[in-house]
Amino acid sequence: GAGVSQSPSNKVTEKGKDVELRCDPISGHTALYWYRQSLGQGLEFLIYFQGNSAPDKSGLPSDRFSAERTGGSVSTLTIQRTQQEDSAVYLCASSLRDRSYGYTFGSGTRLTVV
């Protein structure tokens, strides 16, 4: 597609449930990133995928968070046993490999844990 697509756009879940957030990057973009943004806060880096290399998971806040990228394209961010502090907007971005290029962000998934 023309842009980075994220789904769902909004998700309300009960505390303790698992959720999956999906990101479909721009075709041909080898790098994919997940960030989250809590209300009124800046963006917090979560994880980075580059081609077939092992992902950099150093930003994941706990072992309840995991992410996969299948076939070098679509990525899924999974949060297990959700807690209220997980409530945030989860943003996905993709870019070409060359770091001189900027990222293209999706519109995000607003997650609310009740």
The residues binding other proteins (CB under 8 A) are: 4, 31, 33, 35, 42-43, 45, 48, 50, 56, 91, 93, 99-100, 102-108
Q: How far is the CB of 27 from other proteins (least distance, A)?
A: 17
For residue 97, the SS3 value is coil
One-letter amino acid at 10 equals N
Q: How far is the CB of 72 from other proteins (least distance, A)?
A: 16
Report DSSP state, residue 56.
Answer: B
Q: How far is the CB of 42 from other proteins (least distance, A)?
A: 5
Q: Which long-range contacts (CB under 8 A, 24 or more apart) does 51-58 make?
A: 51/97
